[in-house]
Structure 1
Amino acid sequence: MDYSFQMYSARNEASLDETLKTLASLGYKQVEGWGGQFADPAALAQSLKSAGLIMPTAHMGYAQLEDTDAALKIVDQVGIETVYCPAPPSEEFRTGSGDWAGFAQGLARIAAAFKAAGKGFGYHNHHWEFSKDADGKTPMELILDASPDMQWEMDLAWVVKADEDPVAWMDKLGSRITSVHVKDIAAAGENADEDGWADVGHGTLDWKKLIADAQSKTKARYFVLEHDKPSDAIRFARRSMDTLKSFGA
């Protein structure tokens, strides 16, 4: 399995080119882009080529995706196959007053345009997407129900943060899950400077089992390593890859 690396985790590194080359030296074959990287798609494509990496998936924010033609041009220039919207578009969704149904319809329109262009499209969750409405539906279900073309990039650690069982969601909606974010949660009281996240294999989640579950229960093609706030992105990349290599997967 070729693990990917979410470049948002290395957003504070001084040199994109050096970071990409270091990731390649650690055994990564691919990376996942994020919206802040797409100001110069041609230069990004050249940096990836120079490092011997590909970028099959990427995150683009909802505002960027609303100009769908421009987003698809970036996708073509960089060689991206599937884009995931990484979060809801405003603070209201985080505090419980956002219009999830309306947002889901907007995502469905983008998904249709991406499908017409021969590209995949989906949504990446946090914990906000698992509170139930009056009908017992979660925002995550509303998003997937809005279009059969909508894929799910399951950020598994955020599912756990929402006090949900990720394997139960795999059982329920595994056919919609095409990517999994591989991140770890530190033990209670640890890694406060990193917002309670941990390098993969150095936290509380049983990633050996969870990867096996995802492989058997979902359609995940991509397993993307991510840390939301690493104090050292290269340390995170190295130690996490060492953990995953030890699984033999």
Structure 2
Amino acid sequence: MNRRKVLQGLGAVGLSTAFVGLGQAKTKGSEEIPTSTQFWTYNNSDLSVAELIYESGDAGYDTVEPYYIDDESAVATALEETGLQFSSAHVGLGDLQENFKETIQTYSKFGADALIHPYEGDEAWNSEEAVIDWAETVNEMADRVAAEGMEFGYHNHAHEFKKFGDRFGYDIFAEHVNDNVHLQLDVGWVLVGGADPVAVLNRHSDQIKSLHMKDMKVSDDENDFVEIGEGDVNMEAVANVAREAADIDYLIYEYDGAPNPLKSLNYGAEYLETWNGPRHRNWNGK
């Protein structure tokens, strides 16, 4: 399911509200952007995938984004009882190459729009030629996945923003991937890489389908993961572009290894939902 299908289920409404302190960001086409959360945020917790789905439903997320599945039956039950589905899932290229049909079937039944390759190492980004080769590899898998009714995509870290001349490797990659490739922009890692997340989103607004809303404190000495709104990412500007200029399917909250996972889970939902008006819940649980 894509954003428009999700919105049909949510009963989408036009919005004029803004996040307090974030200016008057208006959503493109007066549509809400469904929220999600990447479960890597909660890797310091002892909660199962199903338990995280229940917690996400209670917090008010519209969808969730896992990076593995531990118990398919429990996950299916949790999704049914909460009314949630997978926005997307982090699935490595190798997993698809080794178990293509099984992987597609599993994530399709949980409603995932896209399978996102979460990380590709430095070798793919150490020259312009290597970047183009990696783009072609992504294109090949995207075509296979598209034939099954889903998207294949890529999630960036910082090393994609190494420069070749006056161009970032990420820009070269975006230029060479096909239209059916789902670019998932992690705004925190973009900043760590030395680029402006807002500028990158503007340049590739027709290709970027989802945003990892991750905040970071960036300095010459070290880079630290922090709670959304407490770092150096200009979330106001990201929100404005996401809602006015881009065509974003999901805003995905992520805080790598959150020290207080459940507190962050709820805070992230509240933060993102203020951009999208009143909370929509399909579950009358806890």
For the pair 1:64 / 2:95, whether they are aligned, the reply is yes
Match of residue 5, structure 1, among 28, 33, 37 = 37
Match of residue 224, structure 1, among 248, 252, 263 = 252
Quote the Cα distance in structure 1 between the aligned partners of 2:155 and 2:87: 15
Unaligned runs of 5+ in 1: none
State TM-score, norm by structure 1: 0.85
Q: Secondary structure at the match of 2:54?
A: helix
Quote the Cα distance in structure 2 between the aligned partners of 1:180 and 1:226: 10
- Which residue of the partner structure matches residue 270 of structure 2? 242
Alignment check: 8 A CA contact 2:44 2:259 kept: no
Alpha-carbon distance change, 242 to 132 in structure 1, aligned in 2, over 3 angstroms: same
Quote the Cα distance in structure 1 between the aligned partners of 2:229 and 2:35: 15
Quote the Cα distance in structure 1 between the aligned partners of 2:229 and 2:165: 38
Of 177-186 and 203-212, deviating more is 203-212
Quote the Cα distance in structure 1 between the aligned partners of 2:163 and 2:236: 30
Q: Secondary structure at the match of 1:186?
A: strand
Q: Secondary structure at the match of 2:86?
A: strand
- Which residue of the partner structure matches residue 106 of structure 2? 74
Quote the Cα distance in structure 2 between the aligned partners of 1:171 and 1:18: 36
Of 144-153 and 224-233, deviating more is 144-153
Q: Deviations over 1:29-70 (max 9, x none)?
A: 210111xx2354444222322333211211111211223323
- Higher percent of residues as helix: 1
Q: Secondary structure at the match of 1:170?
A: helix
- Which residue of the partner structure matches residue 51 of structure 1? 82
- Which residue of the partner structure matches residue 207 of structure 1? 235
1:185 Cα shift? 1.4
Quote the Cα distance in structure 2 between the aligned partners of 1:74 and 1:93: 29
1:234 Cα shift? 1.0
Alpha-carbon distance change, 244 to 72 in structure 1, aligned in 2, over 3 angstroms: closer
State TM-score, norm by structure 2: 0.75
For the pair 1:117 / 2:148, whether they are aligned, the reply is yes
Quote the Cα distance in structure 1 between the aligned partners of 2:83 and 2:259: 26
1:134 Cα shift? 6.2
Alpha-carbon distance change, 99 to 43 in structure 1, aligned in 2, over 3 angstroms: farther
Q: Secondary structure at the match of 1:234?
A: helix
Match of residue 66, structure 2, among 28, 33, 36 = 33
Quote the Cα distance in structure 2 between the aligned partners of 1:204 and 1:91: 25
- Which residue of the partner structure matches residue 158 of structure 2? 127
Alpha-carbon distance change, 242 to 7 in structure 1, aligned in 2, over 3 angstroms: same
Alignment check: 8 A CA contact 2:251 2:272 kept: no
* Cα RMSD (Å): 2.7
Quote the Cα distance in structure 1 between the aligned partners of 2:168 and 2:213: 26
Q: Which structure carries more relative contact order (alpha carbon 8 Å, separation 6+)?
A: 2
Alignment check: 8 A CA contact 2:174 2:204 kept: no
- The aligned amino acid for 1:177 is I
**Paired-residue identity, %:** 23
